[in-house]
């Protein structure tokens, strides 16, 4: 089975206009996302498998090392319980 990452029901992704960054709102925690982390998480809606997310980001950011970095990033968030 291929993992299709999604935010748990208790998590919300928001853009903070004041800070100019994305935030991941979790129960009793706010995570300030840096760089393109918010863009990656917006693709994690449960409809795309990890390779599809990597492909979408590779098309959006040609030459960026997304194939190596994105799966590891998603797995780290999964281990923290921020993705299901």
Structure tokens at 47: 């409809």
Distance CA 71, CA 84 (A): 14
Which residues partner with 15 through β-bridges?
A: 22
pLDDT score of 33: 97
Cβ(57)–Cβ(65) below 8 Å:
no
Distance CA 18, CA 65 (A): 29
Distance CA 20, CA 48 (A): 27
What is the chain's pLDDT, residue by residue, as a tens digit (84 residues)? 599 999 999 999 999 999 999 999 999 999 999 999 999 999 999 999 999 999 999 999 999 999 999 999 999 999 999 999
The domain ranges of the chain are 12-80
CA angle 33, 37, 40 (to 5 degrees): 145
pLDDT score of 1: 54
Q: Taking the model in full, what pTM does it have?
A: 0.92
């Amino acid at each position: 089975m291929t993992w299709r990452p999604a935010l748990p029901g208790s998590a919300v992704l928001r853009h903070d206009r004041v800070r100019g960054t994305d935030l991941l709102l979790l129960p009793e925690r706010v995570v300030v996302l840096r760089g393109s982390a918010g863009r990656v998480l917006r693709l994690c809606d449960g409809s795309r498998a990890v390779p599809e997310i990597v492909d979408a980001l590779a098309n959006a950011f040609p030459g960026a090392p997304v194939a190596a970095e994105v799966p590891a990033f998603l797995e780290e968030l999964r281990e923290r319980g921020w993705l299901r």
